[in-house]
Amino acid sequence: MLRTVPSPHSKMKTLQLRLGTRASLLAQWQANWVTAELRQRGFEVELVPITTSGDQQQTASGPIAGTGIFTKEIQRELLDERIDLAVHSLKDLPTETVPGLALAAVPQRAPVADALVCDRFDCLELLPPGAVVGTGSLRRRAQLLNYRPDLEMRDIRGNVDTRLRKLHEGHYEAIILAQAGLERLALAKHITQVLPLSLMLPAVGQGALGIEARAHDTATREALAFLDHMPTHAAVTAERALLAALHGGCMAPIAAWGRMDGEQLILSGRVLDPAGARKLEAMQSGTVDQAESLGRSVANVLLEQGAAALIAECRG
């Protein structure tokens, strides 16, 4: 099949793209959004469903563990040329580069914050001592315990709708979810409180999408170029460089927030111990073309403060 990129003044054959996606509602929203954007540009898109090990763990018992559990199978399909692109929640995409693949585009970011969802209380401060809060994230758990050590943190798993159902059934007084995910699924009405970033820094890449393609697939990468948002791409590049330099992986209590302030790229980083008793923080700024070095520099400051020891506690 001839795969060419059409231009406004060309009658070349439309590029046909196979987009791999997980079956969760949020993954479907992400895939459908990218599909709609591509179709508006004249591309033909076929959605290809893929089940990942992370999806299988969602329905099992015990904590979800592993790096790349929501991405490895999709990346294998890309490398085997059974699909042409994949849309990831960027916070799920490991920082290690997969030979043969490239991050072709990072669209404009949604809100980065986390949200408290609660049926009985109006804000985090009003939760009574001992209140049970559900989260599957060690990052969220550690930051909440740092602020409210009197809360009882319990693991929760499942997709957004499953977690909301468990809350409404009374298994938890409150749960913590990403603001972006709730808004994308038209569930913002469930948000009780958007947690301030001073209290809860986001996960690396939270609220951002990463569109991956084969590194040498020039036609697909050119087709995706219009979706790339430079300020977002720079911000998440800095965040991911910080995470890579800390060697923490997605399971460690590491948080980061990159954002533009005029011409300056600002990066805040935070590392905690699993119990939330100790918190290390650093912030620096630089230019967009210094995104990777900025991430490494903030990571080095955190390492000088003792971050490696806190991260090691997560590995037992």
Catalytic annotation, residues:
92
Nearest to 289 by CA among 313, 253, 265: 265
Q: How far apart are CA 296 and CA 308, in angstroms?
A: 14
Number of C-beta neighbours around residue 216 at 10 A: 10
Q: How far apart are CA 55 and CA 162, in angstroms?
A: 13
**Strand pairing category for 101-105 and 132-134:** unpaired
Question: What's the Rg (C-alpha) of the chain?
Answer: 20
Number of C-beta neighbours around residue 97 at 10 A: 11
Number of C-beta neighbours around residue 3 at 10 A: 15
Nearest to 243 by CA among 138, 30, 61, 91: 91
**20, two tokens:** 């791999």
